[in-house]
Structure 1
């Protein structure tokens, strides 16, 4: 009698297997092997089947043997061994292989091996090793001059005849630079003569280009001309190279005016690279006597030369800025639009440090579309304060204030950054012009004539170059004649919003006006005594052109008046190091200007003018104390003030000073002036 199935595992297993259907060949169907036996059975076949079915594998992101635990890997290996699988081929190398401990490395032998390999790869390895060791002694700060001169001579002697190869090396290039720096004049000439034939190769090498820059710095007048002669015909090619462009830029700065023109003229046409001394100045002057076909050829050649440089983004150099200005002066407006589109963005910010680069920036702002202006303003984000203090870059910010109608974007990006450092900008030569441009735009007293010309027309004859270049494209022989365009029509096309409304929004929306009056009231003494800040505080206290500040913050203007009057009311103290504002040269003249223009400071008839406040707080009954020196100009200004109420109040006291001879009157001034003329 057979035992029950639940007591005999093998029987239960066989009976359950007998119930499974089989295919025609008598084999189990695919997928049944994992279900025929339990997980706890020790049958070899069942273990292999279960292992193949994947029940022992955990779901991991990596997959494969690397995702299994060591125990699973051992178990899988035992299954493969039972099946007759090659053990060496199946087991992972990092699980079962037992490694011996690493033997200690012989560093000396390893170093010798590396040196032998370098010696085979570098023919001058031994010389390089010697000169680097000498360089370590040469570059010390506490070494004597005689010892350094001896080491320099020894180093140059070792490198003689091999300086070009040494200059291409990372370490030896620095050795040569130090030798040139500390060598005698005769030794510098020897190095120059040996490196001069390979100057172009030095320009294109990552390490040797620094030595080429040193050669330009130390070159005499005739030596510089030799180097420029080597560059002649290769300027355009070198400017497309990352390191070569830096050398050409360095040579451009070291060259004279005529030499600079020769370098730039290689962009004009191929004949300028082959011949010399045919340039007469600017490109418009050169093309004035040329036929139309020649002008068209020059324009096409300049386009082909400039385009690869712009595509590579090599726009940091001043020679490229000069070439672009020359190109835009003769290009049609369609080509100008292409250049503006390429430069609008981060590329333009890298060009604002030169005069020509700033002109290009103003050009892009004035002639760019709304989308292009938006890209330029966004590119300036985080760089506004740096650009505002730059010698040339601030002109682009002035142009943005002038023509961009999107005051919300300008407020968010530019005005918000300027508002963080109003005091510092007020005493900066270029930063204060931004503040003054908001209050009194385009006033010749504060802005140089060249700057006003740049803001109006950044590139010479840009409005009329369309006619000129288009005529050249059509082959018109009269395309050299240039006529200026209508400035009013151009301004209307560039910007639509009213200038006063635009400046009012920039001052009010950003809170710049309120922060400006707070800075002037807090730092009134510093600004009055500053030769640059005095103009800012004067225009703020005056209220700006058309009373723009009075309408924005009338209470703030009164606080500035009060701060100035309080400083003037302080008693004269000779013990203090700081000079009194009424006796200071700049401060006294600024206060005098405010007194003379005091009628402009009234927002309405009920408000008190600055002259009235100053008289009541500082000068009433004390004019005798301030009737001499620089302060006498302030006292005399009350007699000529535009405010009639102030003249009436101060008349009696000032006339008594004039009669007593303490304060000079108008007649006395005229008499002394006539005597001086005689």
Structure 2
């Protein structure tokens, strides 16, 4: 998977034309000058003229330096001549370097830089500044001779890192006209990224303006693609990002950028069939070339894909699926890519969905808890008719990592959807609107009744959900998010109504496990009841219904058996009795649980013993100002 928005980190390079299949949904870190990026195979640009393969990433000076570094005599050495020949070769190499343009100055700069780049022990600030000043005076007239060479480029990077804002601006201005060359250089690209990182808003705009018009070329270049990605993800403003994406529409929108800055791609394509054809051709050409070069995981490419799918017809959607289905997992780690993935899944045929799900299967454990990937999984649950295939694709991953998903902010959302649908408690209006939009897209391709589809999914996943909470309750309940999910599962009337006899028995076993979990001395700080979310969890089971904020009362469950009065009675009999009831009341973290028991068991036949015990300890209740639960209990008992 390609890089995302992590600043000041390093990016791993792709190892093949399909670099991210093993790393789907895990953001890969951003590049720096210390990491070399592996080459990605080049392809011809059908729309733009690009630099030839012989000069894509190296200037002539780079090639000469590489030749010098690799230069070794291949002739057989005569006896006794090996050491002398080697010394002579090193001497000739040094002389050749000195004879180049600015050769002696560059050598002098390197000698100073070797002292500056020492990291252990760190240089004192005064010495560092002195060495920086010395390098500055030696190099300020020779930047163009330094920037494209392996070690010399690192000198300028170090200078940028430690220089003042004014000096950085001077370097920016000195390199004007060379940014495209830097972007396509295997060494210079690191310097360009350094300039973007330490540069100001104005200096970044200078670089963007100079690269403007060449972004489609750079996206097809093995070095330039990484620069464009870093520029888009890490450094460009929202307006600059939009400018960069519009350039992918075609040359007209690159040249006359100010005339089109407020236009949306849908508006342009709806106004002219010819423009739609040109734009879609340009976008598809850039996307196809980039995918072939192994850049499928790039966020800027995902943004271009999102533009394309907005205007694509059914045949073009199929073409995109054919292009991407094997690397589909590389889309889901960015908001733009997740949008593309959801759109393609919603518009895909049953056969195409099968191909997509097959490619996602081995990445399910990373997809489900991903910030954007979980949206793709929910969309799959909402629109894919083949529920058997969905279960086979994701069931094993959910079973193996259930506790991790249940305690994860994003990982639990697909599980919540299975229980409660798009409940507003867990899905914001914006997310609901997006998912409903994808659902609407699938109206032509999804034939099964949504209610039937949901019931089939619940029937298939219910066993995994119950087994998960039943075996991992000791891991899930101590977590705030996990405890909340556990509560929703046990108190979901709709979910319980679909359970068979076997799973109902399993549900009852889980309630027994919950009771055992809260045994122990509540005066010990490690007792789980001291967690605020544990009190809320117990109250949800004791109350016997769901709180309705509009009605301002608890609405009893229609189907669930075992909660409410039965659970409250069982909890009091097995966890609390007359010997420790007062302790629970006087412990401020426990007192609200007693309040919940009182509200549920008061005036019931099952609660007579509890009320009797409560009255017997009433006079000994310590009404501390911090114990709000005890105060409320006494108020209710009046």
Please report the TM-score for the alignment, with normalisation by the length of structure 2: 0.73
Change (3 A) 1:502 1:308: same
Tell me the equivalent position of 1:595: 542
Shift of 1:179: 1.5
Counterpart CA distance in 1 for 2:219 and 2:191 is 18
Q: How many residue pairs end up in the alignment?
A: 536
1:442 aligns with 2:422: yes
Contact map agreement 1:641 1:647 (CA 8 A) in 2? no
Contact map agreement 2:493 2:558 (CA 8 A) in 1? no
1:418 aligns with 2:398: yes
SS in 1 for 2:161: helix
1:276 aligns with 2:257: yes
Counterpart CA distance in 2 for 1:419 and 1:607 is 29
Q: 1:637 aligns with which of 581, 596, 600?
A: 596
Tell me the equivalent position of 2:409: 429
Change (3 A) 1:636 1:643: closer
Q: 2:485 aligns with which of 533, 536, 553?
A: 536
Counterpart CA distance in 1 for 2:613 and 2:432 is 42
Deviations 1:378-411 (A, max 9, x none): 3334433333332212222333344445556545
Deviations 1:539-567 (A, max 9, x none): 34336742156756344433432233234
Tell me the equivalent position of 1:263: 244
Tell me the equivalent position of 1:351: 331
1:136 aligns with 2:108: no
Deviations 1:37-57 (A, max 9, x none): xxxxxxxxxxxxxxxxxxxxx
Tell me the equivalent position of 2:94: 115
Q: Which moved more, 1:371-380 or 1:404-413?
A: 404-413
Counterpart CA distance in 2 for 1:605 and 1:189 is 72
Counterpart CA distance in 2 for 1:377 and 1:433 is 19
Change (3 A) 1:596 1:496: closer
**CA RMSD, aligned part only?**
3.9
Tell me the equivalent position of 2:167: 187
Q: Can you give the 5+ residue segments of structure 2 that lack an aligned partner in the other structure?
A: 1-76, 546-555, 624-629
Tell me the equivalent position of 2:575: 618
Counterpart CA distance in 2 for 1:149 and 1:244 is 33
Shift of 1:159: 2.6
Shift of 1:112: 1.5
Tell me the equivalent position of 2:191: 211
Shift of 1:589: 0.9
Change (3 A) 1:569 1:493: closer
Shift of 1:592: 0.6
Tell me the equivalent position of 1:60: none
Shift of 1:139: 1.8
Change (3 A) 1:604 1:209: same
Shift of 1:209: 0.8
Contact map agreement 1:638 1:646 (CA 8 A) in 2? no
Change (3 A) 1:516 1:593: closer
Counterpart CA distance in 2 for 1:641 and 1:607 is 7
1:175 aligns with 2:134: no
Counterpart CA distance in 2 for 1:421 and 1:227 is 45
Deviations 1:348-370 (A, max 9, x none): 22222111111112223333334
SS in 2 for 1:380: helix
Change (3 A) 1:229 1:656: same
Change (3 A) 1:138 1:514: same
Describe how 1:42-53 pairs up with structure 2 within 5 A. Answer: none
Q: 2:454 aligns with which of 499, 502, 508?
A: 499
SS in 2 for 1:345: helix
Q: 1:393 aligns with which of 358, 369, 373?
A: 373
1:339 aligns with 2:320: yes
Counterpart CA distance in 2 for 1:334 and 1:646 is 69
Q: Which has the higher contact order (CA 8 A, sep 6+)?
A: 2
Q: Can you give the 5+ residue segments of structure 1 that lack an aligned partner in the other structure?
A: 1-98, 464-486, 672-678
Counterpart CA distance in 1 for 2:568 and 2:98 is 86
Shift of 1:590: 1.4
Shift of 1:665: 6.5
Contact map agreement 1:538 1:594 (CA 8 A) in 2? yes
Deviations 1:412-445 (A, max 9, x none): 5533233333323332222222433343332222
SS in 2 for 1:435: helix
Counterpart CA distance in 1 for 2:605 and 2:530 is 22
Change (3 A) 1:102 1:542: farther
Change (3 A) 1:363 1:642: farther
Counterpart CA distance in 2 for 1:378 and 1:291 is 38
Deviations 1:124-160 (A, max 9, x none): 5544444333333212222211212222222233333
SS in 2 for 1:457: helix
Change (3 A) 1:128 1:562: farther
Please report the TM-score for the alignment, with normalisation by the length of structure 1: 0.69
Q: 1:232 aligns with which of 212, 218, 239?
A: 212
Q: Which has the larger radius of gyration?
A: 1
Tell me the equivalent position of 1:373: 353
Contact map agreement 1:588 1:634 (CA 8 A) in 2? yes
Deviations 1:493-533 (A, max 9, x none): 6989632222322444xx5642442011x33xxx3342211
Deviations 1:36-91 (A, max 9, x none): xxxxxxxxxxxxxxxxxxxxxxxxxxxxxxxxxxxxxxxxxxxxxxxxxxxxxxxx
Change (3 A) 1:199 1:489: closer
Q: 1:546 aligns with which of 488, 491, 495?
A: 495
Counterpart CA distance in 2 for 1:612 and 1:183 is 72
